[in-house]
Amino acid sequence: GGEPAPGGEPAPGGEPAPGGEPATGGEPEMGGAPEMGGAPGAGGELGMGGTPPMGGEPVEPMTALPSGLTEYTIAQEIDGERVERTVLLHVPDQLGEGANYPIVFALHGAGGQGRSFVGRMRNQINQRGFVGVYPDGHNRAWNLGGAESSADDVAFLSQVVASLADYRNLNHDRRFILGLSNGAGMAHEMAVETRLFKGIATVVTQLSRGNEPRAETPTTAVLQLLGMDDGLIPYEGGL
């Protein structure tokens, strides 16, 4: 399912419309340009609630969490080419002293961009106190084993998690992922393939064939929302 059509009505099987978001996940009003901070240091891959192993090496001071919006890129090789993939870090405007913020990844649907979550999430982030992470899918899509994208998105999102390791005030014991449509399918895949997220919330998608949980799949909390009249993603399942 693609991004919602303008005017608040969802396209068939697409994402629920957030009050007229642009069909391509266009840029909402952001109240100023995001800070163009460099990429945070990429620590080793984290397990749930883990910190990078020390190994006896000197520990570098942790980086202060920047308030507001910070954009950075992570390089990945895709089809033999180096691609710089964009990530938006969305932090409350006013940082609480000694705060330990939960982390919520948000994955857009096919045709969208991570930037589309800025307007949707700003009030929740400031009022409820968590940090949003909005990565961009390659060619505006997430690779679920079909024709959407050829990127290794499990590896990419694992890199994004690792890039947060050096920031203070982040609670990696409370790391979650939500997704819409194609992005929701990617959230399912991350829950099956990694131990990086404590829970997922998915809208307008189901587990795809070949991506079912296995015996070694970690236990993960799942909230899944489907429309009973959706003809593209049937409530009862099926093709």
146-185 residue pLDDT tens: 777 899 999 999 999 999 998 999 999 999 999 999 999 9
Question: How much is the pLDDT for 58?
Answer: 52
Mean pLDDT value across the chain: 81
Query: Is the pLDDT assigned to residue 2 strictly greater than 80?
Result: no
Closest CA to 117 of 233, 7, 34, 44: 34
pLDDT in tens, 97-154: 889 999 999 999 999 999 999 999 999 999 999 999 999 999 999 998 877 789 999 9
SS3 labels along 95-135: CCCCCCEEEEEEECCECCCHHHHHHHHHHHHHHHHCEEEEE
Question: How much is the pLDDT for 143?
Answer: 94
Query: Is the pLDDT assigned to residue 84 strictly greater than 50?
Result: yes
Measured CA to CA in angstroms, residue 93 lies from 66, 124, 232 at distances of 9, 12, 39
Query: Is the pLDDT assigned to residue 8 strictly greater than 60?
Result: no
Run of H or E residues at 199: strand 199-203
pLDDT in tens, 186-203: 999 999 999 999 999 999
N- to C-terminal Cα distance for the chain? 13
Burial of 228 (0-12, 13-18, 19+ CB in 10 A): exposed
Residue with tokens 């899918």: 137
pLDDT in tens, 18-76: 443 333 333 333 333 333 344 444 433 344 544 444 445 555 668 999 999 999 999 99
Higher-confidence residue of 236 and 202: namely: 202
